[in-house]
Amino acid sequence: MPSPQELKEKLIAKAHELGFVLAGITTPDPTESYPRFESWISAGYHAGMDWMASEHSLERRNDPQKIMPACQSILMLGIPCLPSRPENSGIAAYALGDDYHDILPRRLEALSRWLNEITGEEISSRWYTDTGPLLERDLARRAGLGWIGKNSMLISPDGGGSYFLLAEILLGIALPPDTPFAADHCGSCTRCLDACPTGCILPGRTLDANRCISYLTIENKGGIPLELRPLIGEWQFGCDVCQQVCPWNRFSFSKVDPAFAPREGVPPENLAAEFSLTPQAFNRKFKGSPVKRARRRGYLRNTAVVLGNGRGEDGIEGLSIALIDTEPLVRSHAAWALGQIGGKQAVQLLRRALEVEAEAEVVGEIISALERNGG
């Protein structure tokens, strides 16, 4: 069996071979950022993500060995998810291709199997990619992968910026840990804070999910607050603004994994046509895509808001379909969007909808939209 140092070097080389351009080892000690995370939860900045606040989850996030008592080392990994700094497509860069929740676990499992083969032992392991109760950005910093920027993203100085996905394997074997990344290369720059459309970035390198466009368009399953809808802009799923303006993303990885290459139809060429997607058609179109996480009603809710913000009359036909959708969430946001666009045709559609609408929330949205247009 190789020495711990040799085994670590071979393991990291194998991780690179599997596409993980960033790799480092840290210990399973409790994370230094946990008190800040606990305060973040107490302040309600986790919004509707209640699973983060459960006692069981908090206990495990504070100590990785509560997840896997046999854990002696943690292999932290990063994989790029786009070839270059993207323009605003309305879909977050990581979601343009296939879902990393499907892709990365297979590679993590392969890496664990390889480790068993090379050591000739059955080494216990557990792997996650944004699915386990771990403060993975802090663990990645501790493994030497980068620093946590003012926008709360992990930023790599090795030519990757922040456009990469994190994954980790908890290992039942002791490997030499890497030196934690101590430098802060954000300096006096405040571009991410200045550019955030909703002002969700907070001091202390964290954010208020209640105002974050990524939360509002993905994890949020209800209505988008009225005052925040205009600030969503063109973002149909997620948001990259704080990354787009970050100077470190001028040096993003030049090669992207083929699995994350943009899928056909993402983003859609014709937003208004998306309202014709039946539940079955939505599932077919976004099978294996992160976009499916928003579910059909969330995706069409977001689409309505984007069309309302664009205020183009070419969106009215699609919104007329949304106004009779089976989902009240879609109908209510379509009414708001038509109120934003305004004009005779939009007002006629809203009046017609008011005559047949039974849901109180949707009725309220229709009345508000009509009042904004003197109708």
Q: Is the confidence at residue 84, as pLDDT, over 70?
A: no
Cα distances from 76 to residues 79, 91, 194, in angstroms, run 11, 27, 31
Residue 323 confidence (pLDDT)? 98
Q: Is the confidence at residue 54, as pLDDT, over 50?
A: yes
Pairing mode of beta strands 164-171, 73-80: antiparallel
- What are the b/e assignments for 7-26, b being 16+ CB within 10 Å? bbeebbebbeebbbbbbbbb
Residue 41 confidence (pLDDT)? 97
Residue 81 confidence (pLDDT)? 83
Q: Order of strands across the sheet with 164-171?
A: 22-26, 73-80, 164-171, 125-128
- Give 265: exposed, middle or buried? Use CB within 10 Å, 0-12, 13-18, 19+: exposed
Cα distances from 224 to residues 48, 92, 221, in angstroms, run 12, 18, 9
Residue 85 confidence (pLDDT)? 46
Which residues share a beta bridge with 127? Answer: 169
Other CB atoms within 10 A of residue 39 CB? 12
Distance CA 306, CA 222 (A): 16
For 134-166, write each residue's pLDDT tens digit: 999 999 999 999 999 999 999 998 767 899 899
Q: Show the tokens assigned to 96.
A: 């343009």
Q: Is the confidence at residue 83, as pLDDT, over 70?
A: no
Residue 343 confidence (pLDDT)? 96
Q: What is the mean pLDDT of residues 223-232?
A: 98
Q: 127: helix, coil or strand? A: strand
pLDDT band at 252, cuts 50/70/90? low
Strands (E), 124-280: 125-128, 147-148, 154-155, 164-171, 201-202, 206-207
Among this protein's residues, is 257 annotated catalytic? no
Q: What is the mean pLDDT of residues 329-335?
A: 98
**Distant-in-sequence, close-in-space partners of 180: CB < 8 Å, separation ≥ 6:** 26, 141, 142, 143, 144
Of 269 and 25, the one with more pLDDT: 25
* Among 335, 331, 337, 330, residue whose Cα is nearest residue 297: 330
pLDDT band at 310, cuts 50/70/90? very high
Mean pLDDT for all residues in the chain: 94
Q: Is the confidence at residue 325, as pLDDT, over 90?
A: yes
This prediction's pTM? 0.95
Q: What is the mean pLDDT of residues 109-123?
A: 96
Q: What percent of the chain has pLDDT over 70?
A: 97
Q: Is the confidence at residue 366, as pLDDT, over 60?
A: yes
Contact between 133 and 60 under an 8 Å Cβ cutoff? The reply is yes
Residue 255 confidence (pLDDT)? 66
Strands (E), the chain: 22-26, 73-80, 125-128, 147-148, 154-155, 164-171, 201-202, 206-207
Distance CA 130, CA 114 (A): 22
The full set of domains in the chain, from first to last, is: 1-261 (no CATH), 271-375 (1.25.10.10)
Residue 259 confidence (pLDDT)? 81
Residue 254 confidence (pLDDT)? 59
Q: Is the confidence at residue 298, as pLDDT, over 80?
A: yes
Q: What is the mean pLDDT of residues 9-33?
A: 96
Residue that has been written with the tokens 């960033």 in this structure: 22
Residue that has been written with the tokens 């890497």 in this structure: 178
Q: Show the tokens assigned to 8.
A: 């670590």
Cα 261 off chain centre by: 17
Contact between 241 and 196 under an 8 Å Cβ cutoff? The reply is yes
Candidate list 29, 50, 130, 158, residue with the active-site label: 130
Q: What is the mean pLDDT of residues 66-79?
A: 97
Q: Is the confidence at residue 86, as pLDDT, over 70?
A: no
Distance CA 34, CA 95 (A): 28
Tell me the angle at which helices 34-42 and 55-62 cross, rounded to the nearest 10 degrees.
Answer: 160
**Least-confidence region, from 23-27, 86-90, 238-242:** 86-90
Q: What is the mean pLDDT of residues 203-218?
A: 96
